[in-house]
Structure 1
């Protein structure tokens, strides 16, 4: 069974959402499962429509064909490809760049 971290938070269009993020689901899938209208398109790590800044947990991306090393080091991620590192129970605060 996957560890689940609740109390993750994202603000979209002036609305604050809280959601759970299991370690075995991508950030995007966790938000969509919670009914959050998270921006996305290809879901393959190629378009950048789901780019988000992540504060809090240690994460990794399955694929990344958009962000450069500087972006990643600064905390930007592709939500469709981002998984929370197993064992890291830190809640995430997300910020979209638009």
Structure 2
């Protein structure tokens, strides 16, 4: 199985490190970087075994026929990973947390 992150997702993950550090969610840049690296590792090691749900129409701007799975990183934050799956290839199209995504899920 393979995982391909859309260029927009790769850009967001790089930006996320900066956001987490500058908004002081983490006191050290290295800790913010480790958090994002850990999220990517979780995705690539466990997405295939997670329950997947069909994404609501709202998320079709990121692609057609999307699924999503949830990754809980702590008591306050869950990450929603939106993807297509074909021939054992996971194409990651969008990643957002519960603060940005949950109101659009039924």
Normalized per residue, which structure has more helix?
A: 2
TMscore range, shorter length? under 0.3
Q: Which has the larger radius of gyration?
A: 2
Which has the higher relative contact order, 1 or 2, with Cα contacts under 8 A spaced 6 or more apart? 1
Taking structure 2 as the reference length, the TM-score comes to 0.24
Taking structure 1 as the reference length, the TM-score comes to 0.25
